[in-house]
C-alpha cells in the first residue's frame, strides 16, 4: 500500500502571533495535505487481504454426516469419504451415485479433467446430510440459499441425478411463503430462517429458472407430470415476479441480490433474474398446457425486457439503476444463456468487455466492478462467467476459466469460495454455487 510520507515540520512557538513566514506556511500546509492525502489513500488504495482457508474439503463420516477436514490425509483417495471404519461401504455408495448419472467429459480440458468429477462430489457431499445442498459446510455457509440451490438442482438434473434435483425443488416449495417471495436463506432442515437478513426478490426468479431447466433435462414424456408436481412453486413464484414488475417503470423495486447487501436502487441482477424467471414460466406453462398463463408471463417478460433495455443498456449495464458503466457485474451475465433463451448482442458485447472491471491479480473475477479492491477473486463469479461463455458460444473463454478454477482448488481438490491475490485458496471449501456452475459449464462444453 502506497501512503504518502509525512514531512517533518518545525514546531511553531505558541507566543508567535500574526502571519507565519511564507516558507513555514507552505511547509505546514504541505505536511497537512500529505497527511490528509495519506489518510485518504489508506482508505481507497487497493489492499491485498489475507483470508484463512477454513477447510481443504468436506467428507462424509461413518454416521453419514459431513465433516470439515483441514487436510487430505483423512479421506479415501479420490472420494469425499472419511477414511476409517465404514469407509469402504461409503466409498462404494459414492461411486454408485456417480455411476447412476454422468460426469461430463470436456474435450480440451486435459489434465484437469478430474475438476468436473470433484465438483460433482462436492455437490453430493454438501447434500448428503440434509438431502438438499447447503452453500458450504463451515459456520455461516451451512444454510440453503435459493440461488445456490437452483444452480445445484440444474447441475443434478443435467448429470442424470433426477431425484436429487427434485428434492431441491421440493424443499423450495416447502419453505416458500404464500407471497412467493423467498427469504435470503433457510435452515437446511426447512424449519425456518437463521436470522433477519430478510427477503430477496430474485429467489422467485431462480426457482422458476431451475424448475424449467430441470424439466428440460427430463425425457419429454415425463415433463407434464413433473410440472404438475411443482405447480404450487411455479404458481407462487410467477405471481410474485409479475407483481414485482407491475409498477409504472416495469422494473422491480430495490432488493438485495447475490451481493447480500441492502439496496436502495434496483439492481440489474435482480431485474435480469426475474426476466429469466418469466421466460422460464412461459416454458413451464406451455408444458402444462395453460395458454392464458403462458401469455401473461410472456407479456410480463416483454415489459421487463423493454425496461431493462431502456434503463440499463444505454448506460453500459451498470450494477444499479443510474449507476456508472464500470460498476457492471453478474447482472449482465444473467441476461444471457443459460439464463435467457437467446443471446442478446448488446448484452453479450458488454459481457465480453466487463472482465476488465472485474479482474483480480490471481486471474479470477470479483463480484462486480464496484466491489472493494482487496485483491480477492471470487470463484462463483468466475465459474458463472465460464458458464455463460460456454452457453453463448465462447468455448475458448469457458475453457480458460475452467482451467483457472482447476488450478486454484484446495489440495484436496475442492473448489473454494475465494482465491487470494497470490493464488492461495481461501474462505470456505467446497462451495455449492461454484461446484454447480463448473458442472453446468462442463455439460455445455461436452455437448
What share of the chain has pLDDT > 90, as a percent?
81
Q: What is the pLDDT of residue 315?
A: 98
Q: Mean of the pLDDT values across residues 62-77?
A: 79
Confidence band, pLDDT 50/70/90 cuts, at residue 11:
very low
For the stretch 104-114, pLDDT in tens is: 999 888 755 69
Whether residue 22 has pLDDT greater than 50: no
Q: Give the per-residue pLDDT at 18.
A: 31
Q: How long a stretch of residues is the chain?
A: 447
Q: Give 2's pLDDT tier (boundaries 50, 70, 90).
A: very low
The chain-wide mean pLDDT, for the chain, equals 89
> Which of 46-50, 58-62, 273-277, 280-284 has the lowest average pLDDT?
46-50
Number of domains in the chain: 1
CA 209/CA 365 separation, integer angstroms: 24
Residue 365 lies in a domain: yes
Q: Is residue 53 part of a domain?
A: no
pTM comes to 0.89
Confidence of residue 24 (pLDDT cuts 50, 70, 90): very low
The answer to whether residue 437 is domain-embedded is yes
- What does the pLDDT average to over 51-69? 87
* Residue 31, pLDDT above cutoff 90: no
Residue 36 has pLDDT above 50, yes or no: no
Q: What does the pLDDT read at residue 371?
A: 97
Would the pLDDT of 436 be above 50? Answer: yes
| Domain encompassing residue 300 | 101-446
Check residue 306 and give its pLDDT. 98
Average pLDDT over residues 149-176: 98
Tell me whether residue 64 is in a domain: no
**Mind listing the pLDDT tens digit for each residue in 351-372?**
999 999 999 999 999 999 999 9
In a domain, 333, yes or no: yes
- Which pLDDT score, from 0 to 100, does residue 65 have? 79
Q: Does a structural domain hold residue 176?
A: yes
Residue 41 pLDDT greater than 70, yes or no:
no
Q: Pick 219 or 35 by higher pLDDT.
A: 219
- What pLDDT is attached to residue 74? 85
Task: Please give the average per-residue pLDDT across 400-407, as a whole number.
Answer: 97
Question: What is the 3-state secondary structure of the chain?
Answer: CCCCCCCCCCCCCCCCCCCCCHHHHHHHHHHHHHHHHHHHHHHHCCCCCCCCECCCEEEECCCCCEEEECCCCCECCCCCEECCCCHHHHHHHHHHHHHHCCCCCCCCCHHHHHHHHHHHHHHHHHHHCCCCCCCCCCHHHCCECHHHHHHHHHHHHHCCCHHHHHHHHHHHHHHCCCCCCCECCECCCCCCCCCCCCECCHHHHHHHHHHHHHHHHCCHHHHHHHHHHCHHHHHHHHHHHHHHCCCCCCCCCCCCCCCCCCCCCCEHHHHHHHHHHHHHHHHHHHHHCCHHHHHHHHHHHHHHHHHHHHHCHHHCCCCECCCCHHHCEHHHHCCCCCCCCCCCHHHHHHHHHCHHHHECCCCCECCECCCCCCCCEEHHHHHHHHHHHHHCCCHHHHHHHHHHHHHCCCCCCCCCCEECCCCCEEECCCCHHHHHHHHHHHHHHHC
CATH of the domain at 264: 1.50.10.10
Residue 217 has pLDDT above 80, yes or no: yes
The mean pLDDT value for 119-143 works out to 96
Rounded mean pLDDT, 77-89: 89
Q: Is residue 12 part of a domain?
A: no
- What pLDDT score was predicted for residue 112? 58
In-domain check, residue 238: yes
Quick one: pLDDT at residue 64? 78
What pLDDT does 21 receive?
A: 36
Write down the pLDDT at residue 85.
85
Distance from C-alpha of 291 to C-alpha of 273, rounded to nearest angstrom: 23
pLDDT per residue over 263-312, tens digit each? 999 999 999 999 999 999 999 999 999 999 999 999 999 999 999 999 99
Among 39-48, 92-101, 346-355, name the one with the lowest average pLDDT. Answer: 39-48
pLDDT for the residue 13: 29
Amino acid at each position: 500500500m502506497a501512503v504518502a510520507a509525512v514531512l517533518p515540520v518545525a514546531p511553531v512557538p505558541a507566543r508567535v502571533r500574526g502571519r507565519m513566514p511564507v516558507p513555514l506556511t507552505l511547509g505546514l500546509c504541505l505536511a497537512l495535505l500529505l497527511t490528509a492525502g495519506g489518510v485518504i489513500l489508506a482508505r481507497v488504495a487497493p489492499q491485498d487481504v489475507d483470508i484463512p482457508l477454513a477447510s481443504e474439503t468436506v467428507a462424509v463420516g461413518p454416521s453419514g454426516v459431513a465433516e470439515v477436514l483441514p487436510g487430505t490425509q483423512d479421506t479415501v483417495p479420490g472420494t469425499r469419504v472419511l477414511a476409517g471404519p465404514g469407509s469402504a461401504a461409503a466409498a462404494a455408495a459414492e461411486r454408485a451415485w456417480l455411476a447412476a448419472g454422468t460426469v461430463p467429459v470436456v474435450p480440451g480440458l486435459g489434465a484437469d479433467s478430474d475438476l468436473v468429477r470433484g465438483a460433482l462430489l462436492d455437490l453430493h457431499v454438501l447434500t448428503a446430510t440434509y438431502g438438499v445442498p447447503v452453500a458450504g459446510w463451515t459456520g455461516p455457509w451451512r444454510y440453503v440459499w435459493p440461488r445456490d440451490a437452483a444452480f445445484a438442482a440444474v447441475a443434478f438434473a443435467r448429470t442424470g441425478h433426477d431425484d436429487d434435483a427434485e428434492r431441491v425443488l421440493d424443499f423450495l416449495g416447502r419453505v416458500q411463503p404464500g407471497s412467493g417471495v423467498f427469504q435470503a436463506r433457510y435452515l437446511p432442515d426447512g424449519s425456518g430462517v437463521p436470522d433477519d437478513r430478510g427477503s430477496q426478490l430474485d429467489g422467485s426468479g431462480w426457482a422458476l429458472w431451475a424448475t424449467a431447466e430441470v424439466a428440460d433435462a427430463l425425457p419429454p414424456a415425463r415433463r407434464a407430470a413433473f410440472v404438475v408436481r411443482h405447480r404450487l412453486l411455479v404458481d407462487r413464484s410467477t405471481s410474485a415476479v409479475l407483481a414485482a414488475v407491475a409498477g409504472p417503470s416495469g422494473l422491480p423495486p430495490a432488493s438485495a441480490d447475490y451481493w447480500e447487501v441492502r439496496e436502495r436502487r434496483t439492481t440489474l441482477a435482480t431485474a435480469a433474474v426475474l426476466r429469466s424467471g418469466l421466460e422460464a414460466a412461459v416454458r413451464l406453462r406451455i408444458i402444462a398446457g395453460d395458454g392464458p398463463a403462458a401469455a401473461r408471463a410472456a407479456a410480463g417478460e416483454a415489459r421487463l425486457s423493454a425496461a431493462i433495455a431502456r434503463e440499463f443498456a444505454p448506460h453500459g449495464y451498470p450494477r444499479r439503476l443510474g449507476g456508472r458503466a464500470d460498476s457492471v457485474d453478474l447482472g449482465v451475465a444473467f441476461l444471457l444463456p443459460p439464463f435467457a433463451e437467446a443471446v442478446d448482442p448488446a448484452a453479450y458485447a458488454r459481457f465480453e468487455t466487463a472482465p476488465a472491471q472485474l479482474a483480480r491479480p490471481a486471474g479470477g473475477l470479483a463480484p462486480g466492478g464496484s466491489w472493494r479492491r482487496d485483491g480477492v477473486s471470487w470463484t462463483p463469479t468466475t465459474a458463472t462467467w465460464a458458464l455463460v461463455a460456454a452457453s453463448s458460444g465462447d468455448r475458448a473463454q469457458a475453457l480458460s476459466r475452467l482451467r483457472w478454477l482447476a488450478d486454484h482448488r484446495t489440495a484436496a481438490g475442492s473448489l473454494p469460495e475465494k482465491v487470494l491475490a497470490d493464488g492461495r485458496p481461501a474462505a470456505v471449501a467446497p462451495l455449492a454455487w461454484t461446484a454447480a456452475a463448473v458442472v453446468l459449464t462442463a455439460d455445455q462444453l461436452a455437448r
